[in-house]
Amino acid sequence: MNQFQYIQPAKQKAAIDALTKDAKAMFIAGGTNLLDLMKRGLAAPEKLVDINKLPLKKIEFNNNGLRIGALALNSEVAQDKLVREKQPLLVQALEAGASGQLRNMATMGGNILQRTRCPYFYDIALPCNKREPGSGCGALAGFNRMHAIFGFSDKCIAVHPSDMSVALAALDATVVVAGPQGERQILFTDLHRLPGDQPEKDTILERNELILAIDIPDKPFAQKVHYLKARDRASYAFALVSVAAALATDKNIITAARIAMGGVAHKPWRLFEAEKFLEGKPVSEANFRSAAELAMQGAKAFNHNAYKLKLAPNSIAAALKAAAGIA
């Protein structure tokens, strides 16, 4: 780890200015990912701008929906009465993520911006285009059991590791972002990028932009929900595949469906086609199966992750069933 300066501004503008002025500065909030990156030699900021003093912890509800401050802790949000009432899918996803200790430190904004857990990314002795553009993708012909089946490129097949982000993608959330030019809103599904030719870029954010809050609209599909996470052990393991499913129904007819997957792509993977397919159709296992098959079109496996081609549709159907409340 290199020597670095540390500042803790009390004002949002000062924080953003610090990054604008200093190309080697980085924000730090909970630090649950950044500290690992620094210890393993993947990040070497010369200045850490601690944003924990900024007033970004509030959780509030208005007519449009829920607004969660970027610095609210994962554990606080998961235990918040309002959130539990309004957005149970988010709660399920949060509680499926990391460990209790990590959730006590990790912030909402940090969770969104955490980096992939691809082992090639973390070992500086191995090639990784995300860490060192042009060095090659170690996982492509290597150990890729955890890797993408959708949306990858020949430069990168890593997946985004967050559970929470999968739920946010399904829930039509938006993020409120501030930069030197002021604030902007980004649809959550547009925030993370596919790797393409620039796998080093995880999101469309500029490096001096700061996430202020997450907005989750109040929608009719918010209550019939399920987050399914398949993993190697019962807790504290990244998803092999996860599915966030949300349904609105009227007399057994699906009026709205939202489905997103984790562990399958460089970003939370929304299943728009499957959602469209389900809308207007009756709740049934057969329809859920068909939706799952539709969602799997275009999936492609590598040496060690072919199991996802079966695990993913199984999980989609199972999550939809659980959301709909059918056995």
Tokens 């959708």 label which residue? Answer: 150
DSSP letter string over 291-314? Answer: HHHHHTTT----TT-TTHHHHHHH
Give the residues across from 41 on adjacent strands: none
Contact between 241 and 264 (Cβ < 8 Å): yes
| Residue-level length of the chain | 327
Rounded Cα distance, 219 and 174, in Å: 13
Please say whether the beta carbons of 72 and 30 come within 8 A. Answer: no
Q: By CB under 8 A, what part of segment 92-121 binds another protein?
A: 99, 117, 119-120
SS3 assignment, position 80: coil
Closer CB to another protein, residue 39 or residue 276?
Answer: 39
Of the ranges 49-57, 76-84, 136-144, 263-271, which one interacts with another protein (CB under 8 A)? 136-144
Compute the chain's Rg from CA coordinates: 19
Q: CB of residue 111 vs another protein: minimum separation in angstroms?
A: 15
Q: How many CA atoms lie within 13 A of 249 on its CB side?
A: 20
Q: Which is nearer to another protein, 47 or 231 (CB)?
A: 231
Nearest to another protein of 68, 156 (CB atom): 156
Does 122 help bind another protein (rule: CB under 8 A)?
yes
In the bound state with another protein, the residue whose beta carbon lies nearer, of 173 and 274, is 274
Q: Which residues contact 142 (CB under 8 A, 6 or more apart)?
A: 120
Within positions 10 to 69, which residues make up the interface with another protein, using CB under 8 A?
A: 39-41
Distance in Å, CB of 82 to another protein, minimum: 27
CB nearer to another protein: give 10 or 125. Answer: 125
Q: How far apart are CA 227 and CA 244, in angstroms?
A: 5
Among 240, 246, 261, 283, binds another protein (CB under 8 A): 240
Q: Does position 2 bind another protein by CB under 8 A?
A: yes
Query: If binding is defined by CB under 8 A, does position 184 make contact with another protein?
Result: no
Considering only 35, 43, 248, 311, the residue that binds another protein (CB under 8 A) is: 311
CB of 167 to another protein, least distance (A): 18
Run of H or E including 279: none
Among 35, 43, 105, 126, binds another protein (CB under 8 A): 126
Distance CA 308, CA 300 (A): 9
Binding site for another protein (CB under 8 A): 1-3, 39-41, 99, 117, 119-120, 122-123, 125-126, 138, 141-143, 145, 228, 230-238, 240-241, 304-305, 307, 310-311, 314-315, 317-318, 327
